[in-house]
Each structure stands twice: as C-alpha cells, then as structure tokens.
C-alpha cells in the first residue's frame, strides 16, 4: 500500500488475481459516517481508475461533498458485467468479490459505511454497476449508470434490498442506443452477444424491483432546453419515480444529442472522435448529479425488500 497526500494506492488478492485501486482518503476518516463512492471505468485496453479520476469531478469535490472515492482498476481494461463479452468474464474473474472486498476494506481502514455504498459507472462500468446493485444490494444504497443499461442476462436476478437507480443516457449514443441492442463484440462465428435492455425497459425493471409507485402522483418530469449559442449546452429530460421501499427512487436523465460520454468531462474536439462517440454535455456534471441523487438516501430506513 502506498499513501501520498489524500490518496491511498493499494491492492487486494481475489482468487488468483491481484487487483488494484486508488482511494481518495476522506478527511473525516474514522467517524463511520462517510459514504464510499466507487467509480467504474469503461472498457478499453488502457482503461483504469486513473481514467475516471481524470474525467470526473469526484476527487476535487470529495471533501466538500463529504465522500470517500475509490477508483478500482478493471481486469485487462474491463469488468465482468454479466453480458459475457469481456476478457474478465472469459477468464472467470470475480468482480463482485473484488468490489465487495474493496467496500469492506474501506470500511475497516477508513470508517466508511459498508451498507450505504454508491456505485457510479460509465459504459462497461455502467453495466457492472447494474450487476453489483443486483448481486450485492445489501451494500449498495444507490447506483448511477452512465451510457449503459441493464444486461438482459441479469433480468432474473432478484436483489435482497431495494437500490435507487440513476440512469443517464444520450439520445445520440452510437454504442448504447436508447432502444437497447447488442454488444459490438461478436461471438467466434459472428453471432450477436451481450444483449442489453432499452432505457425504458431498464427504468421499468428497477421501478418494479424497488416497488416504486406508478402514475402521475409518483412521477415528476423536468425539461431543460438546449442552447444553440452555447457549445455543449444540450437539452435534458429528467423523469423521477419515487415511493420505493426505504425511500428508494428511479431517475432517468436523458441528454438530448449526447453521445457515449461522461457529462461534464472535457469535450472531445477531434472530428473523428466526435463521430465515434458523440457529443459531451457541458451543462451537466454527472458526478455532482450522482452525489445529489444519492445523498438523501444515505440515512434512509431499511431497504430490505
């Protein structure tokens, strides 16, 4: 383990694999009240926790928001997210065990609350956030999936606890479309693999799991128009369904014209990159949205379903 200022760089042995992560050490360590936010990167050969530290504002605002932040590194640049398309799944990597052990490690070493963890992920990390919220629901108070939806293979998993869901997707995402679809990674014979649900079906799935209400009394809708005169100022539609077990809720945040990106990160300017992944919203900080969404849930009553 290496400590440098507010950062702790450490590793954990999970089965046959040594896994690494970086923790932004909370200033109020040991009081047993700080939530832990785990931030999961997307799938790429060179992706790591450092990618998300650079992309997001969690680090710079951690003390103001009163959170500890962990940035784990995936296996060969990815996560075993349940779709069956990554090297992590092909090699039998247990990312549920890794992330749960990380939660316990942080609670023991730094006093974070092990049963009220917040998960935030993008792309492959977003799919993994869904999986962790389903299979380790007793530890997760809320999760945010950015540019990702629920893997179809996880549809039958029944969590033991309700978990609030924040779902952020762009209407112009070329890789994870709002209507659902399949992974880009085909099978050995070119067959489609890794089906994911649509944004609508993902929302409805979590609404049902959390036993949220339905109808006009349980849903609010907020619209933010785009601004053609301000680059990166994209239109937003926010839909919130409340009334779930233990105060849980499901919120969808649709970024009109947004791509396969993390809102609030530095916008790509290279035309080829823009063509490949789409636009990045600059009028929305996804990290701030996630903390805003999760904060009221941290002192909520029991979430057992």
What residue numbers bound the domain in which 164 lies?
2-297
Answer whether residue 224 is part of any domain. Answer: yes
> Are the C-beta atoms of 39 and 48 separated by less than 8 Å?
no
In the three-class reduction of DSSP (H, G, I as helix; E, B as strand; rest coil), residue 115 is classed as coil
- pLDDT tens digit string along 158-174? 999 999 999 999 999 99
Answer whether residue 244 is part of any domain. Answer: yes
Long-range contacts of 149-152 (CB under 8 A, 24+ apart): 149/176, 149/180, 149/196, 149/197, 149/198, 149/199, 149/202, 150/196, 150/197, 150/201, 150/202, 150/205, 150/206, 151/81, 151/82, 151/83, 151/127, 151/194, 151/195, 151/196, 151/197, 152/195, 152/196, 152/197
According to the model, what pLDDT value does residue 33 have?
75
282: CATH:
3.40.50.1820
Cα(62)–Cα(165) distance, rounded to whole angstroms? 21
According to the model, what pLDDT value does residue 1 have?
62
According to the model, what pLDDT value does residue 30 have?
46
In the three-class reduction of DSSP (H, G, I as helix; E, B as strand; rest coil), residue 137 is classed as coil
Q: What are residue 107's phi and psi, to 5 degrees?
A: -65, -40
Answer whether residue 303 is part of any domain. Answer: no
CB burial of 144-156 (b: ≥16 within 10 Å; e: otherwise) equals: bbbbbbbbbbbee
DSSP structure string for 175-206: SS-TT-B--S---TTS-----B--HHHHHHHH
Answer whether residue 91 is part of any domain. Answer: yes
Would the pTM count as exceeding 0.75? yes
Answer whether residue 302 is part of any domain. Answer: no
Answer whether residue 304 is part of any domain. Answer: no
Answer whether residue 48 is part of any domain. Answer: yes
Residues of the chain with pLDDT under 50: 30
According to the model, what pLDDT value does residue 266 have?
87
Give the chain's end-to-end CA distance (angstroms, integer).
38
Answer whether residue 246 is part of any domain. Answer: yes
Cα 255 to Cα 82, 180, 188, 191, 283, distances in angstroms = 26, 16, 35, 31, 10
The total number of structural domains that make up the chain: 1
């Amino acid at each position: 383990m290496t400590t440098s200022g507010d950062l702790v760089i450490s590793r954990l042995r999970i089965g046959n694999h040594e896994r690494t992560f970086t923790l932004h050490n909370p200033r109020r360590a040991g009081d047993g009240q700080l939530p832990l936010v785990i931030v999961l990167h997307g799938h790429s050969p060179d992706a790591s926790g450092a990618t998300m530290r650079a992309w997001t504002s969690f680090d710079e605002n951690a003390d103001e928001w009163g959170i500890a932040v962990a940035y784990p590194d995936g296996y060969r640049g990815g996560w075993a997210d349940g779709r069956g398309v990554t090297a992590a799944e092909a090699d039998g990597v247990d990312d549920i065990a890794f992330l749960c052990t990380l939660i316990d490690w942080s609670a023991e070493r730094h006093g974070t609350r092990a049963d009220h963890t917040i998960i935030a992920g993008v792309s492959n990390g977003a799919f993994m956030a869904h999986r962790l919220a389903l299979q380790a629901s007793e530890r997760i108070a809320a999760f945010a999936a950015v540019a990702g939806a629920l893997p179809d293979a996880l549809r039958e998993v029944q969590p033991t606890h309700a978990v609030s869901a924040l779902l952020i997707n762009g209407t112009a995402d070329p890789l994870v479309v709002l209507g659902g679809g399949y992974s880009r990674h085909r099978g050995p014979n070119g067959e489609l693999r890794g089906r994911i649900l649509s944004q609508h079906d993902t929302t409805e799935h979590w609404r049902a799991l959390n036993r949220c209400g339905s109808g006009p009394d349980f849903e609010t809708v907020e619209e933010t128009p785009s601004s053609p005169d301000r680059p990166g100022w994209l239109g937003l539609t926010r839909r919130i369904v409340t009334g779930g077990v233990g105060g849980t809720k499901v919120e969808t945040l649709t970024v009109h014209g947004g791509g396969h990106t993390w809102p609030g990160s530095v916008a790509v300017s290279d035309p080829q990159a823009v063509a490949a992944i789409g636009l990045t919203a600059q009028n929305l900080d996804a990290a701030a949205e996630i903390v805003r969404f999760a904060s009221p849930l941290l002192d909520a009553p029991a979430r057992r379903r």
